[in-house]
Structure 1
């Protein structure tokens, strides 16, 4: 017979469950701010003051920005280069630390978008690998790493052209 869990153990487990949901909600809120609101102030509120936003990848690299101001500057450029984006997050994997003060998360993303200042409709596949931290009752993104898995013109599809050149900033802004 297994021993009854203690109240402290149950509360710790509940804290991790609530943390898991808070991280999922934070990521959804971030994506909605990027797609629906296109509100840069709202976007950067999801990050710690010293957070890192990193466009990594096997195929397309967008650079690294550290701090809310640098992340905001990046997003101002993104909105010009990509006036239409709609991220569909899938395959969520969230791991909350035992102390429920940090977490990691991975999502796959399918994104219809328009690039090159709105002249080229594309399908984009992304993978997010993020780190989150809790400050009091609020969660923040401390490191966002997004990998572009494919970026293909809408009219050609990935069977014809898996990677189309995506306009990226030539020199990332660093804080």
Structure 2
């Protein structure tokens, strides 16, 4: 017996028809809009990571944030406002000349023109000081806002799990110097 893949697991054929019959066109349109918003936010995050990995184009990165945005890297510093964020990214290549931002496990909640998101980061990178190969892991907690039809970062917080030398691993050295 093959399961009807259009129907969520655990629903019988009868409950599937009931579930569909109860949905109005307006309900479906709202659900689709939320899904489209989630996809746009994922694209925003992808642009952020791609720009970071392509030598931190500070001007392009700053444009992904609202004028009054916050980029809070905790131990990496806090940057209030688009211009401070731009300056932070202008200096990033001198600190981190190589990085691959791999973000995963997004959980995005949309409420009208505002949204929140949580992502996990796994990042191989190079610390310029000492030319050290490093593994990194952190969590992004983010707030987004739609401005003139476009999703932007309002608040980004990076909480580190580890930044450890490649040759030692996070068990031996949780945070590289």
Count of residues paired in the alignment: 159
2:97 aligned partner: 83
Deviation, structure 1 residue 117: 3.7
Which has the higher Rg, Structure 1 or Structure 2?
2
Change in 2 beyond 3 A, CA 1:93/1:129: same
**Highest RCO, 1 vs 2 (Cα 8 Å, sep ≥ 6):** 1
* 1:11 and 2:25 matched: no
1:157 aligned partner: 169
The two structures have a TM-score, normalised by structure 1, of 0.85
Output the CA distance in 1 between the equivalents of 2:85 and 2:130: 21
1:62 aligned partner: 76
- Output aligned runs, 1:17-166, within 5 Å: 17-36=35-54, 38-56=56-74, 61-97=75-111, 99=112, 101-117=113-129, 119-165=131-177
Root-mean-square deviation (CA, aligned residues, Å) is 1.5
Deviation, structure 1 residue 77: 2.0
- Structure 1: stretches of 5+ with no match in the other structure: 166-175
1:168 aligned partner: none
Q: Which deviations, in whole Å up to 9, do the C-alpha atoms of 1:76-112 show, x marking residues without a partner?
A: 2221111111111111111111x2x111111111111
Q: Which deviations, in whole Å up to 9, do the C-alpha atoms of 1:130-167 show, x marking residues without a partner?
A: 001112321000000001110101111112111122xx
Output the CA distance in 1 between the equivalents of 2:107 and 2:60: 24
Change in 2 beyond 3 A, CA 1:149/1:118: same
Q: Which deviations, in whole Å up to 9, do the C-alpha atoms of 1:31-90 show, x marking residues without a partner?
A: 10111252111111111111000012xxxx122111111001111222111111111111
The two structures have a TM-score, normalised by structure 2, of 0.84
